[in-house]
Chains A and B, each alone.
Chain A
Amino acid sequence: MTVAEPVNAGFRNEPILELRRAQARDSLLAALRELDERLPLSVPVLIGGDRGAAEGIDSTDPGAPQRLVARAGRGGEDEAAAAVEAAARGFHDWGSRPAAERAEVLHAAAARLRERRLTLAALQVRECAKPWPEADADVCEAIDFLEYYAQQAVELDHGRSLVQAPGERNTMRYTPRGVAGVISPWNFPLAIPCGMTSAALAAGNTVVLKPAEQSPGSAGALVDALHEAGVPPDALALVPGFGEAGAALVRDPRVHVIAFTGSSAVGLEIVRAAGETPAGQNHVKRVVSEMGGKNCVIVDSDADLDEAVPEIVHSAFIYAGQKCSAAARVLVHEAAADTLVERLAGAVSVLTVGQADSFATEVPPVIEREAQERVLRYRAQASDHLVASAEPVPDEGWFVPPSLVVGLPEDSPVNREEIFGPLVSVTRVRDIDQAMDIVDSLPFALTGGLFSRSPATVERVAARTPVGNLYVNRAITGAMVGRQPFGGNRRSGSGSKAGGPDYLLQFVEPRVVTENTMRHGIPVE
């Protein structure tokens, strides 16, 4: 009995629920029943403690679009401006508090999320049709971000040690930047806004959070927990809204950092707009931008297909492929291709498509009608190459049948563009080098996978791949805070790693002080 004890540096991931136990499943279903009685939730625009109207955005259940999950206020340019003004005011207090005090507030917020974790998971099931295991993991990740960044911020506050020469004292410290605009997506409706917001707050910035219009309910729950835990009203504003609110935040000269996670189109536009530095704006904006991917899994001829098939299916189809880390392509060595395709086809055709509130469901509906139409469009383009799909799917709700296509030409849009849905494309390759050439030719570099039992191949692919996160002999989704710092390169992101030891550096300014310690030729130290 010899399994090595894990090494932890004071941080421990929040344990996911043990859903193989009936008791854990029943507790979630009970939380869902209780939540259903309180729907729709009311999510006002929240600026400096003032609650605005909670109308203008209706958040609905993707599996039952007539079910209203939350009614939220709709912030526009005016609300964004007012929120930034309040946050700029709030920065004087929050930014000057000791790091340890801010950390304590974030730990308290984590405790509040932990108390409510069942309800928060249930809310994601309804608001985003996120299946239970994924919804539970999302809440845990949110808790992890709060705990991890709180701890990192205290550490960062010690500064860095520098070379010291006689007669001088050099110190390097990190100070907060100012107001951070956080623009978050719906697919991790709690974890991602929580990660970006808590990083900014931990480092001493104040935050205006503009969550995705599809998931204001979850964002509201996050903001409530942070305020209750002691984040001052001026230090955190919530502006639910559409693109106009986000664009106003990006343009605002009083904003110092923009933290964005979402599509490439919007991300690149943010990078462009934030680069403009109008007169009166005395800083260069920092943009943290996490964008899309076209994530490839390479399967070598010596791969263990018993392992590869379920892990690929999980990576590509769980949560209907709506994770930026999800597998979109499989590049398989020709020696293993026939068997892999046959087994993948069989595994895809038995996927359970259904409502997110059923534990049996693996593939829920996609988030909205536009998403459904987009994925079906790509699917139609590849229809001649369709090898397997799980059908029929329910009529009500934004369902798309999970599908496997094989042998598309390399330049097919299905092979090149991010689809963000339950569609995976298999391509045969002569060898691992050809697979790596294909990965190299894509504009994205977020996650990647490799199934191989050769240490030399693992080393070779790891050395050459451009992706931010390479997973070997396992699923390519499910990055854990502190264990798999997450983020992409190339057009997938700005290279910062959420949940990693460098992330907070995006939210601070380094300052170095050099003091002459000589007085009249005499060292005073």
Chain B
Amino acid sequence: MEAELQRVGRSIHAAFPARTRNPLRALDQRAMELAAQDMELRAALFRFVDVTPACHSLDDLARHLTGYLDEVDARPPPIAAAMRMSGTKAGRAALGAAAAAGVRRMAHRFIVGETPRAALRVIRHLWEQGAAVSLDLLGEATVTQAEADRYAARCLDALETLAEAVPRWPARPVLEADSLGPLPRVNLSVKVSALSPLLRPEAPDVGRDDAARRMRPLLLRAKELGAHLHIDMESVDTLEATMELVFDLLDEPELRDSPSSGVVMQAYLRESPEQLDRVIDWARASERRPPAVVRLVKGAYWDQEVVEARQHGWTPPVFEQKRESDRNFEDLTRRLLGAWPHLRPAIASHNLRSVAHAVATNRELGRDDRDLELQVLRGLGDDLAAALAHHGMRVRIYCPVGDLVAGMAYLVRRLLENTSNESFLGEQQRGVPIEELLAAP
């Protein structure tokens, strides 16, 4: 098994596309490298990215940027040059314009378009290249019923827009069926917290019921359109509401046999093994057709979970060592693959070791490659997706859609991930040898 894992890992790695020589991308890469080296600078850049949509002029942008950079002790030469520019109005305008362009460019790397319609060209291109997508609608926090209604309407619009477009896509058999049956071309991921302003950690029922009354019509419409609707997982504060909502809704009579739907398991959670137990028990009991998809991820709210827990004096709900998360990811992968055909597995990771482990384990269990889905994030896992597609694996790219204001929280999370020294991508970019990338956690 370990030998097969190593073999798979190396062959995926060998299929990574050659580094692009786009100069703008090289510039962004340089900014990320600078940020990864210096925590203060990293904080300053993220604070700037975060405030960009709220700035009202180029001058305002430049003032914010220099305000953050002012708090950085050790300034690398490009930053020192920026600070010098900010002394004059013209300099600030130039600096503001350059910085805004930089943020927009980075946003475009992670966000495929402002609306589903605007994203169609990109996602069709991905499909043609051998990668399916799941669309995710970015939004501001939902604090009112009107905002929840608007998000639900955007989800409906996304389903309709995609359903209207996908029949014209060329056939891609790897992406359209596994041994259990067809897989929808239309795939949308939704967030429970965006569907209700009433989600509160100490009263999960209230928010769950309110979100369910908006989720139900979405599921029904997905059923009519033959689309897949995936219910995302967020922080632990909404975990109970989300799980209960999924179990309740998908067991409703009119939703039992479709649409295709699914949930997310976060391997960084200490309680994730018990959660997976619950999901597997539920899936065996419900005999849902088509079976629910379980997307296994590491989890994207690590800092938030740890800070919140430490502020309150709680044991953090997440593993604090990356190695523990990685080991748990492999344990959960094995158990999830073992639950087929009651569940369809989707392994979402940029960690080559985790991906190779999933492929090798699936083969060891005697399953077909096409019964395993691999998922990556737009902007982070593009090379991995290309390599997987090259090997004829089914890969799905999680593609956020939305404007800059709505996308900012998402963008900052992704940038944090991309500049973390411990992240797999960071290691890969630093040229860590393949033996280490594939070493057991």
Contacts and interface: CB of A to CB of B under 8 A. Distances in A.
A14 B144 CA distance: 34
Interface string B143-180: 11111000000000000000000000000000000000
Contacts of A349: 144-145
Given A301-B54, A456-B63, A346 B70 contact: no
Interface stretch (A100-108, A109-117, A159-167, A302-310): A302-310
B420 to A, nearest CB: 8
A350 B236 CA distance: 23
Given A133-B202, A352-B206, A1 B320 contact: yes
Contact of A20 (B145, B146, B240): B240
Interface in A115-135: 132-133
B68 A455 contact: yes
Interface stretch (B308-316, B337-345, B366-374): B308-316
A301 B63 CA distance: 14
Contacts of A15: 312-314
Interface in B18-52: 39, 47, 50-51
Interface residues of B, number: 49
A16 B56 contact: no
Interface of B is mostly: helix
Given A346-B145, A453-B64, A20 B54 contact: no
A454 B143 contact: no
B67 A454 contact: yes
A6 interface: yes
Nearest to B324: A1
Interface in A212-238: none
Interface in B126-149: 140-141, 143-147
A335 interface: yes
A7 to B, nearest CB: 11
A297 to B, nearest CB: 16
A301 B56 contact: yes
Given A6-B310, A453-B54, A19 B201 contact: yes
A343 interface: yes
A309 B54 contact: no
Interface stretch (B214-222, B299-307, B379-387): B299-307
A283 interface: no
A141 B409 CA distance: 33
Interface residues of A, number: 45
B206 A360 contact: yes
A359 B203 contact: yes
Contacts of B200: 360, 362
B252 interface: no
B201 A20 contact: yes
B143 A346 contact: yes
Given A22-B240, A304-B50, A360-B206, A455 B306 contact: no
B435 interface: no
A18 interface: yes
Contacts of A305: 140
A302 B145 contact: no
Contacts of A19: 201-202
B197 interface: yes
Given A3-B307, A20-B240, A132-B202, A456 B143 contact: no
Interface in A1-36: 1-3, 5-6, 12-16, 18-22, 25
A350 B310 contact: no
Contacts of A18: 312, 314
A346 B313 CA distance: 33
A310 B160 CA distance: 32
B51 A343 contact: no
Contacts of A362: 200
Nearest to B54: A302
Contacts of B141: 306-307, 309-310
A236 B146 CA distance: 55
Interface string B191-207: 00000011011111110
Q: Which of A1, A19, A455 has the most CB of B within 10 A?
A: A1
Given A14-B313, A304-B50, A350 B203 contact: no
B282 to A, nearest CB: 17
A455 B47 CA distance: 10
B322 interface: yes
Contacts of B68: 455
Q: Which of A12, A13, A16, A306 has the most CB of B within 10 A?
A: A306
B321 interface: yes
A428 to B, nearest CB: 16
Q: Enumerate the 8 nearest inter-chain pairs by beta-carbon distance, A residue then B residue, closest first.
A: A346-B144, A15-B313, A20-B201, A306-B141, A19-B202, A453-B51, A360-B203, A455-B67
Interface of A: 1-3, 5-6, 12-16, 18-22, 25, 132-133, 301-307, 309-310, 313, 335, 342-343, 345-347, 349-350, 352, 358-360, 362, 453-456
6 contacts: A1-B420, A3-B310, A5-B310, A12-B313, A304-B50, A306-B143
